Amino acid sequence: MEIKMSLLKRMTVVSLTSFSLALLSINAIAQEVTQMVSVEQAKQQHVTPTVWLPGNVVNRSNARISTEQNGRLTWILDVGAKVNKGDPLAKLDARHLDLQLAEKQAQFRQQKINADYLKKQQKRLRALIDNNSTARAEFDRTEKDLHIANEALGALEIQAKQIELAIEKATIKAPFAGKINRRLVQQGEYVTMGMPLVQLVDPNTLDITIAAPLSVAPYLSANNEVLVKFKDKLLTVPVRTWSPAGDSSSRTFEVKLNASQYDLFSGLAVTASLPNEKAVSATLVPRDALILREKETYVIAVDTESNARKIRVSVGRGIGEWVSVEGKVSAGDKLVVRGGERLEDGQKVRINQPEVKQGVENIAAN
């Protein structure tokens, strides 16, 4: 009997220990599943409605540099080379120009000797006229020859400067600082006037160009900031300028945004949000609450039972750290701003900061 009681006690202890370990394991799993998050509340505010339009990142300074004369290409920079304004990009064979310049300089010296002689002769004849020792006609003829010689000197000097300019243009120089994007000819080729040699771009000055409908024009203003979506990034970019006239066939006009401050690359495709109506009341969410994916944009809301709920939204205009959205989001909804990247729909969460109250605001967006 005592042996049975002892066995029973041992079994009871083992069972209680196993139960306790199971509870600890369940609690640990529950804590792992429950994600710690930070939240902020959505708010209501007057903003200007927007339309999302495709755009392209382009280099503001982008030029195909051409030669201004004919010649054999003796040297040219390679793709990717970095240059400053005034640095050489390519060189043409200018030996024939050097010879022409030497010939004109020799002719100038020869004509200068002739002009100096005529000047001395004019001085002698003037003295003879004063003494009535020579005819006036002889003096006039010498004076005429001196004028002609001086004019010839001026013409030769101009011709020499023209050849010097041609020699200078045989070295094609960069009109602005940048990098060689494309090389359009190869060393050794014969090039003609107006033929493009290289494409030079400035990678530090970038614009986003947008073909916007004419209905957007009344709501644009210089330096007005708009949202630009690129992959999983949402950028705030100022309006730099826009075309004063639209295209009659497409009913669009060009808008340019200044994207130089961002690490973008020319040729990228983006979408931009431009204002297209008067200000209306809209729901705003913190910028950090937005989760951007290539095919969708959504926020994570926390319901009254501390469950995460995924809500798809369409992004509108940005105002500082807030962004207007369209979707099933209302003012006062608790939105995850930290810790929401890996949350699953319906997953339990814990809030690690006090609720931030956001009331209805009636501030019109500038």
Per-residue model confidence as pLDDT tens digits over 74-106: 999 999 999 999 999 999 999 999 999 999 999
Backbone angles phi, psi at 38, to 5 degrees: -110, 140
* pTM of structure: 0.64
Residues 343 and 285 in one domain: yes
Q: Please, what is the average pLDDT of the chain?
A: 84
pLDDT at residue number 350 = 82
Question: For residue 199, what is the enclosing H or E element?
Answer: strand 196-201
pLDDT at residue number 13 = 46
The CATH number assigned to the domain holding 361 equals 2.40.420.20
pLDDT at 66 over 90: yes
pLDDT at residue number 15 = 52
Q: Tokens 């010839």 label which residue?
A: 152
Residue 297 located in a structural domain: yes
Residue 328 located in a structural domain: yes
Residues 66 and 194 in one domain: yes
Domain stop point among 233, 254, 272: 272
The CATH number assigned to the domain holding 235 equals 2.40.30.170
Enclosing domain of residue 129? 94-169
Domain stop point among 244, 272, 300: 272
pLDDT at residue number 141 = 87
Residue 8 located in a structural domain: no
pLDDT at 362 over 70: no
pLDDT at 338 over 50: yes
Per-residue model confidence as pLDDT tens digits over 170-225: 999 999 999 999 999 999 999 999 999 999 999 999 999 999 999 888 888 887 88
Residue 22 located in a structural domain: no
Residues 241 and 364 in one domain: no
- Contact 171/91 with Cβ under 8 angstroms? yes
Alpha carbon of 112 to those of 118, 124, 157, 203: distances in Å? 10, 19, 11, 53
pLDDT at residue number 143 = 86
Give the long-range contacts of residues 308-312, CB within 8 A, separation 24 or more.
308/35, 308/37, 308/336, 308/340, 308/343, 308/344, 308/345, 308/346, 308/347, 308/348, 308/349, 309/345, 309/346, 310/343, 310/345
pLDDT at residue number 186 = 95
The CATH number assigned to the domain holding 191 equals 2.40.50.100
- Contact 49/276 with Cβ under 8 angstroms? yes
Residue 340 confidence class, pLDDT cut points 50, 70, 90: confident
d(CA 116, CA 126): 16
Domain stop point among 272, 295, 315: 272
Which among 313, 290, 274 is positioned nearest to 233, based on CA atoms? 290
Residue 9 located in a structural domain: no
Per-residue model confidence as pLDDT tens digits over 24-40: 454 444 444 577 888 88
pLDDT at residue number 173 = 96
pLDDT at 325 over 70: yes
Better-scored residue on pLDDT, 63 or 289: 63
Alpha carbon of 21 to those of 10, 15, 29, 158, 339: distances in Å? 17, 10, 12, 103, 30
Total number of domains constituting the chain? 4
Which among 232, 215, 200 is positioned nearest to 63, based on CA atoms? 200
pLDDT at 144 over 80: yes
Residue 351 confidence class, pLDDT cut points 50, 70, 90: confident
Per-residue model confidence as pLDDT tens digits over 253-273: 999 999 999 989 899 999 998
Q: What SS3 class is residue 93?
A: coil
Please tell me what DSSP assigns to residue 237: E
Residues 84 and 178 in one domain: yes
pLDDT at 274 over 70: yes
Q: Tokens 């003037």 label which residue?
A: 126
Compute the chain's Rg from CA coordinates: 40
Q: Cα dihedral angle (357, 360, 364, 365), rounded to 10 degrees?
A: 40
Question: For residue 314, what is the enclosing H or E element?
Answer: strand 308-319
pLDDT at 131 over 80: no
pLDDT at 319 over 70: yes
Residues 330 and 347 in one domain: yes
pLDDT at residue number 354 = 58
Which among 322, 226, 238 is positioned nearest to 274, based on CA atoms? 226
Residues 210 and 321 in one domain: no
- Contact 239/30 with Cβ under 8 angstroms? no
pLDDT at 5 over 70: no
pLDDT at residue number 193 = 94
26: left (phi over 0), alpha (psi -120 to 50) or beta: alpha
- Listed in sequence order, the DSSP H helices in the chain are 2-33, 95-130, 136-169
Tokens of 274: 């431009």
